[in-house]
């Protein structure tokens, strides 16, 4: 009797394990329409998720689910996810190879100067402080990787921070920076970051 019980428990655990392995694919099935099967979006308005820090992805999905970050296209998409689901999904996309982009040569120098040195006269700090020289981000601190991210998406987020439409940044860090940036500066630094290839991702 005991052997049968143990066998049943072992089989149940095996089945549960297979279900968990498949559940990541099932849970991310609706994500692929916007973010691509491998977490790289074909539409520049939507972010690439592949290679992004797990802690950052976790925070953003939780914030969207709990109403701290308003994205109309995401309404209802993550409402049913538990914290455990979100962690699993975040880890899934974090494990994917990151996107590789190429900066616009016409914007590269201006973007590089802003990214590496900031603009002290305007009070804009270097982006490297939080996002690292290669754009790989500070994963433990949940500061996002920015290399290979679509410039259109990056500019949209910077603009939203500047307008106060996005406000889920810790200690208003991005809002305080973005409000000092011009449209041209946002475009240049977004293009430069797109061409960064984070070797630590």
59 found inside a domain: no
| Whole-number Å distance between alpha carbons of 16 and 10 | 10
Q: Is residue 47 within 8 Å of residue 93, measured between CB atoms? A: no
The mean of the pLDDT values for the chain is 90
Is a pLDDT exceeding 90 seen at residue 20?
no
- DSSP letter for 73, please: G
**Any domain includes 3:** no
pLDDT in tens, 113-158: 999 999 999 999 999 999 999 999 999 999 999 999 999 999 999 9
Write the CATH number for 189.
1.10.760.10
Q: Tokens representing 119?
A: 């603009």
Number of structural domains (the chain) is 1
Does the residue 44 lie in any domain?
no
Q: Tell me whether residue 178 is in a domain.
A: yes
Contact 59, 90 (CB under 8 A): no
Residue count (the chain): 201
Cβ pair 89, 57 in contact under 8 A: yes
Q: Considering the domain boundaries, does residue 153 fall inside one?
A: yes
- Whether 72 is in a domain gets the answer no
Would you state the pLDDT for residue 198? 64
- Residue 37 three-state SS: coil
User: Is residue 183 in a domain?
Assistant: yes
Asked whether residue 48 is domain-assigned, the answer is no
pTM of the entire predicted model: 0.87
Domain containing residue 140: 105-195
């Amino acid at each position: 009797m005991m052997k049968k019980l143990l066998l049943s428990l072992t089989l149940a655990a095996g089945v549960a394990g297979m279900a968990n392995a498949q559940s990541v694919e099932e849970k991310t099935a609706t994500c692929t329409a916007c973010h691509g099967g491998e977490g790289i979006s074909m539409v520049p308005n939507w972010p690439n998720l592949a290679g992004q820090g797990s802690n950052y992805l976790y925070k953003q999905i939780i914030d969207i689910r709990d109403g701290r970050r308003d994205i109309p296209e995401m309404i209802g998409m993550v409402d049913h996810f538990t914290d455990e689901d979100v962690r699993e999904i975040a880890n899934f996309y974090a494990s994917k190879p990151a996107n590789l982009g190429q900066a616009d040569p016409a914007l590269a120098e201006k973007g590089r100067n802003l990214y590496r040195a900031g603009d002290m006269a305007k009070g804009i700090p270097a982006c490297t402080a939080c996002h690292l020289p290669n754009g790989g981000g500070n994963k433990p601190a949940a500061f996002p990787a920015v290399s290979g991210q679509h410039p259109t998406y990056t500019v949209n987020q910077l603009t939203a921070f500047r307008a106060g439409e996005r406000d889920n940044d810790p200690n208003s860090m991005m809002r305080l920076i973005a409000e000092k940036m011009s449209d041209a500066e946002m475009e240049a630094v977004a293009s430069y970051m797109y061409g960064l290839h984070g070797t630590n991702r």
